[in-house]
Amino acid sequence: MSVDLLVSGGDVLTMDDAGTVVRAGAVAVDGGEIVAVGPAEELERRYEARESIDAAGCLVLPGFVNTHTHLAMTLLRGRADDVTLQGFLERVLKWEAELLTPENVAAAVRLAAAESIRAGVTSALDMYWFHEAAGLAAREAGWRLLTGPTFMDVPEPPDRRDFTARTAWARKDLEHCDGLRPVVFAHSAYTLSPEQLTEVFALAREFGALVHIHAAENATEVATVEVKYGKRPVELLDSLGLLGPDVLLAHAVDLTGPEIAALARSGTSVAHCPVSNLKLGCGIAPVPRLLSAGVTVGLGTDGAVSSNTLDMLGAVRQAALVHKAGGDPTAVGAEEAVRMATVEGARALGLGERLGSLEAGKRADLAVVELSGPHLRPLHDPWSTLAYAARADDVRDTVVDGKVLMRGRVLTTLDERAVIADLETLIG
């Protein structure tokens, strides 16, 4: 049988429910879809591939799913370090009003896509202005980007739309959505009133969209919302009937026991961003308690201003380490952290049936991690190697929707030098 692509010879970490690892395995891909996963010897007999990747001596795993980021913030990388979240927001909002245009966002997203593809990231959920320009830049690179209208009621938004105009524009946008799933971004309970939040969520639900919102990122945010509305952010969302399986919270650092129970009861998911949370001094999200309660938790990098990189393996390492600080080295294990960056992230996006694991019928998004580096030898346990030792530059090949976007560490759909030069020109 003829197929488009055969990735063979490496140890395949499927990320299926059983945690199956196929030693010296292979993944067969046709029409952008995985058609078979199994021993390389068997699949090489069954399939004749138009294109192949020799993954001998490597790990083959699902591509990483970045469940919370602001990609075009690559424009501002390094300009808001060593400040509090509130100080960060004051600076960034001012710069965004001055700098952001569709052209600038597109250039910044091309850089972010190049960085992400190099790190084995195959999907990202991107909350930012001028999402049409971001989506086009990602499509041209063949990279999977979930994005959509962002609601943030601030005095001078970069696109100069007020809330009423934004709602009408968002409706038109959602009517023509052609991605895996429509998404609506409600920035937060401190930049949108309860009435506005209710309207945004109702619009999203009319179109079956995922709703992504910052919530409980730090104690100051929680106090701000509580003073304004008499309820903490998650309490407020719950009281308005806005939690649910179509909702993904970014951060969720400052949570009470009843709030965790509300997230579990409603099926609301969380995007955990450990690097950003630490860098901004926000605290450590109660991920072990969320997981114990049955809440789906994915991983995110946040933007390149608050985390400085879009390296999901760095987020994996931090997620596996930081929760041990409370004294329990089993709080988040290596395999658990890798699953949060892949299949659990896909589930958090409501796309667990289509992304996040290497199984027949799913979209062919995968990364090949080369194990030749001395920091990766010997290989006693693949999960440990990925979570505690591997780096972004160990990713050798990246495939999205069956298309090879990086082969042998060379990007195939982006001119990396031109992408960097374009962005450097924009910032002067």
Give the mean pLDDT of 258-281.
Answer: 98
Q: For residue range 32-65, what is the model confidence (pLDDT) as tens digits?
A: 999 999 999 999 999 999 999 999 999 999 999 9
Does residue 130 have a pLDDT over 90? yes
Write down the mean pLDDT value for the chain: 97
Q: For residue range 113-123, what is the model confidence (pLDDT) as tens digits?
A: 999 999 999 99
Give the mean pLDDT of 91-104.
Answer: 90
Q: What is the pLDDT of residue 94?
A: 87
In the structure, what pLDDT confidence band is assigned to residue 426 with cuts at 50, 70 and 90? confident
Q: Give the Cα separation of 12 and 38 in Å (integer).
A: 8
Q: For residue range 394-403, what is the model confidence (pLDDT) as tens digits?
A: 999 999 999 9
Does residue 428 have a pLDDT over 80? no
**In this predicted structure, which of 86-90, 195-199, 232-236 has the lowest mean pLDDT?**
86-90
Largest CA distance in the chain: 66
Judging by DSSP bridges, how do beta strands 33-39 and 25-30 pair with one another?
antiparallel
Give the mean pLDDT of 293-317.
Answer: 97
Residues with Cβ within 8 Å of 186's Cβ and at least 6 positions away in sequence, in order, are 151, 192, 197, 200, 201, 211, 212, 213
Q: What is the pLDDT of residue 178?
A: 81
Q: What is the pLDDT of residue 180?
A: 87
Q: Give the Cα separation of 90 and 95 in Å (integer).
A: 9
Structure tokens at 316: 């994996």
Specify the CATH architecture of the domain 2-62+356-410.
Roll (2.30)
Cα distances from 199 to residues 126, 318, 362, 387, 414, in angstroms, run 21, 36, 34, 41, 39
Does residue 166 have a pLDDT over 80? yes
Give the mean pLDDT of 62-82.
Answer: 95
Q: What is the pLDDT of residue 97?
A: 86
Q: What is the pLDDT of residue 392?
A: 98
Residues with Cβ within 8 Å of 299's Cβ and at least 6 positions away in sequence, in order, are 64, 65, 66, 67, 271, 272, 273, 274, 312, 315, 316, 319, 337, 340, 341, 344, 345
The reply to whether domains 2-62+356-410 and 64-348 share a CATH topology is no
Give the mean pLDDT of 374-385.
Answer: 97
**In this predicted structure, which of 156-165, 201-210, 239-248 has the lowest mean pLDDT?**
156-165
One CATH from 3.30.830.10, 3.20.20.140, 3.10.20.30, 3.60.20.10 for 64-348: 3.20.20.140
Does residue 342 have a pLDDT over 90? yes
Please tell me the pTM assigned to this model: 0.97
Q: What is the pLDDT of residue 155?
A: 87
Q: What is the pLDDT of residue 272?
A: 98
Q: Give the Cα separation of 189 and 234 in Å (integer).
A: 9
Q: What is the pLDDT of residue 91?
A: 87
Q: Domain boundaries in the chain? A: 2-62+356-410, 64-348
Q: Give the Cα separation of 83 and 245 in Å (integer).
A: 34
